[in-house]
């Protein structure tokens, strides 16, 4: 298939582009390097030394013999996106091209507005470009399990059958997202569902869980193909961050009680799920929703798993309970269905000791690139303005240090609690 990967320079996007290319699909990456820009803005960097896009593509061509086309630009610019749709004529568009970090969206008003406008306008543009230039193309959109929040009922895959006052209907599953970022994905979901209805477009909304891991079969082929590994409080997903912390002897930063339970998946399953969605397109007018994760864990369970894996490698791993900088239930019911991708053929890579070993080894290998000041949460959901600007070098320090824990206190005493 001809597949366009929007946001193909990012964490999930790069891994997906390589996988799809290796599987024989004709891949075109579209990216504006926004993710690399945010690293500069925040004074952070991926643990792994990712290469520039030209280097990445040259290496992939040398190793695989496959060409991946690259188009540099921003999908919030409609003229650019129109050109992409006309030039590539894709059978499927995989849409990762959004600001995807909850803490980034909660920094302040500007970051909240940027996140929602960027994500909503990019997706609206894509819907219009499909309608205008490629109405049979299948949209594979990355949503998030975070759209559902943590209701006290089982979470279904996108739709819920409701019986109410003796009548029955199937309705979109109610959404209770937990950040301005998660809200942007909810806005997208509603927009996509509507566009499918009025224009007969085809869409699959992949409500993805928290992704962990960095290596896929493809990115492991050569260091030039290495994928991102974010460990900072803004972009670092929790398991990757815990492994980086364990590698340098920093206590694992568990927010609150750590009972926050979410769906998780290995990045090797991300890429496979995306291909499965592409190979089994939605019907015209259909907006399918798949919950894309393989296992549920609480944050504290993950911390204990990393602690145990570290022990086997002679790492002394402590767990710290910090005041939760987010507004979320620290203990709650959570049971989300995730059978549709398995029915399509997904064979999950469950979280194993060997995967944790490999993650810890990667973190140890690149540990000189770790800045521990980036581990502690500085973005507090309860504050409308969190200072995340780098201090100027002239002021004596290149980066601001971590805030005191009290800066993220939810009214508690602000002290770390060791377990």
User: Which of the residues are catalytic?
Assistant: 144, 181, 185
Stretch that binds a second copy, among 4-12, 28-36, 179-187, 391-399 (CB under 8 A): 179-187
Question: 3-state class of 416 per DSSP?
Answer: coil
Question: 3-state class of 387 per DSSP?
Answer: coil
DSSP 165: T
Residue appearing with tokens 């995340």: 388
CB of 252 to a second copy, least distance (A): 25
**Phi, psi angle pair for 240, to nearest 5°:** -60, -40
Q: Which is nearer to a second copy, 149 or 281 (CB)?
A: 149
Q: What angle do CA 149, 181, 82 make, to 5 degrees?
A: 125
CB of 32 to a second copy, least distance (A): 18
**Beta-strand runs (E) in 165-201:** 167-172
Q: Which is nearer to a second copy, 37 or 327 (CB)?
A: 327
DSSP sequence for 105-128: HTSBHHHHHHHHHHHHHHHHHHHH
What tokens were used for 56? 């990445």
DSSP sequence for 293-349: -SEEEEHHHHHHHHHHHHHHTT----EEEEPPSS-S-SS----B---HHHHTT----
| Residue 183 makes contact with a second copy by CB under 8 A | yes
Q: Are 82 and 129 in contact (CB under 8 A)?
A: yes
| Residue 197 makes contact with a second copy by CB under 8 A | yes
Q: Are 320 and 376 in contact (CB under 8 A)?
A: no
CB of 131 to a second copy, least distance (A): 4
Q: Are 143 and 205 in contact (CB under 8 A)?
A: yes
| Residue 175 makes contact with a second copy by CB under 8 A | yes
**Phi, psi angle pair for 270, to nearest 5°:** -55, -50
Q: Which is nearer to a second copy, 165 or 354 (CB)?
A: 165
Q: Which of 262, 267, 248, 349 is nearest to 306 (CA)?
A: 248
Q: Which is nearer to a second copy, 11 or 334 (CB)?
A: 334
> For the window 108-137, what string marks contact with a second copy as x by the rule CB under 8 A?
-x--xx--xx--xx--xx--x--xx-----
Stretch that binds a second copy, among 45-53, 168-176, 342-350, 369-377 (CB under 8 A): 168-176
List the one residue from 33, 70, 78, 399 that touches a second copy (CB under 8 A): 78
List the one residue from 52, 61, 194, 220 that touches a second copy (CB under 8 A): 194
Beta strands 319-322 and 417-418 are antiparallel
Beta strands 159-164 and 69-72 are unpaired
> For the window 2-41, what string marks contact with a second copy as x by the rule CB under 8 A?
----------------------------------------
List the one residue from 169, 353, 387, 404 that touches a second copy (CB under 8 A): 169
Whether the CA torsion 419, 362, 41, 16 is positive or negative: it is: negative
| Residue 223 makes contact with a second copy by CB under 8 A | no
CB of 162 to a second copy, least distance (A): 6
DSSP 218: T
Q: Which is nearer to a second copy, 116 or 227 (CB)?
A: 116
| Residue 299 makes contact with a second copy by CB under 8 A | no
CB of 169 to a second copy, least distance (A): 4
H-helix or E-strand spanning residue 271:
helix 267-279
- Spatial strand order in the sheet of 295-298: 210-212, 261-266, 295-298
CA 78 to CA 99: how far, in whole Å?
18
| Residue 154 makes contact with a second copy by CB under 8 A | yes
Residue appearing with tokens 């939605």: 282
Q: Which is nearer to a second copy, 168 or 418 (CB)?
A: 168
| Residue 387 makes contact with a second copy by CB under 8 A | no
| Residue 349 makes contact with a second copy by CB under 8 A | no
| Residue 167 makes contact with a second copy by CB under 8 A | yes
Stretch that binds a second copy, among 154-162, 287-295, 354-362, 400-408 (CB under 8 A): 154-162
- Interface with a second copy: number of residues (CB under 8 A): 51
Residues that bind a second copy (CB under 8 A): 78, 109, 112-113, 116-117, 120-121, 124-125, 128, 131-132, 151-154, 160, 162-165, 167-169, 171-180, 183, 186-187, 190-191, 193-194, 197-199, 327, 333, 381-382, 384-385
């Amino acid at each position: 298939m001809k597949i366009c990967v929007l946001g193909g320079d990012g964490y999930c996007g790069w891994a997906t582009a390589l996988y799809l290319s290796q599987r024989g699909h004709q891949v075109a990456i579209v990216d504006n390097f926004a993710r690399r820009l945010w690293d500069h803005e925040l004074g952070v960097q991926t643990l792994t030394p990712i290469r520039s896009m030209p280097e990445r593509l040259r290496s992939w061509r040398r190793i695989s013999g496959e060409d991946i086309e690259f188009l540099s630009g921003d999908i919030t610019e409609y003229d650019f996106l129109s050109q992409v749709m006309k030039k590539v004529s894709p059978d499927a568009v995989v849409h990762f091209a959004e600001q995807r970090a909850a803490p980034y969206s909660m920094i302040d008003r500007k970051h909240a507005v940027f996140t929602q406008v960027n994500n909503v306008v990019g997706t609206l543009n894509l819907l219009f470009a499909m309608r205008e230039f490629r109405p049979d193309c299948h949209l594979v959109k990355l949503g998030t399990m975070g759209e559902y929040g943590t209701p006290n009922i089982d979470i279904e895959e996108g739709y819920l059958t409701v019986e109410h006052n003796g009548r029955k209907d199937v309705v979109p599953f109610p959404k209770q997202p937990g950040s301005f970022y998660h809200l942007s994905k909810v806005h997208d979901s509603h927009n996509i569902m509507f566009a499918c209805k009025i224009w007969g477009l085809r869409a699959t909304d992949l409500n993805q869980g928290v992704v962990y891991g960095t290596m896929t079969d493809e990115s492991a082929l050569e260091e030039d193909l290495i994928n991102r590994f974010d460990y900072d409080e803004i972009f670092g997903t929790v398991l990757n961050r815990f492994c980086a912390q364990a590698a340098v002897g920093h206590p694992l930063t568990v927010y609150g009680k750590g009972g926050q339970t979410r769906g998780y998946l290995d990045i090797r399953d991300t890429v496979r799920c995306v291909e499965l969605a592409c190979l089994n397109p939605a019907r015209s007018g259909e907006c399918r929703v798949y919950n894309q994760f393989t296992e549920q864990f609480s944050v504290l369970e993950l911390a204990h798993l990393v602690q145990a894996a570290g022990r086997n490698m002679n790492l002394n791993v402590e767990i710290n309970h910090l005041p939760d900088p987010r507004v979320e239930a620290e203990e709650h019911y959570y049971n989300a269905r995730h059978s549709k991708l398995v029915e399509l053929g997904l064979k999950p890579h469950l979280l194993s000791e060997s995967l944790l070993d490999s993650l810890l080894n990667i973190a140890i290998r690149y540990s000189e690139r770790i800045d521990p000041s980036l581990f502690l949460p500085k973005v507090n959901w309860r504050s409308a303005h969190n200072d995340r600007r780098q201090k100027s070098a002239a002021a004596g320090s290149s980066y601001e240090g971590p805030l005191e824990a009290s800066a993220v206190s939810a009214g508690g005493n602000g002290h770390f609690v060791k377990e």
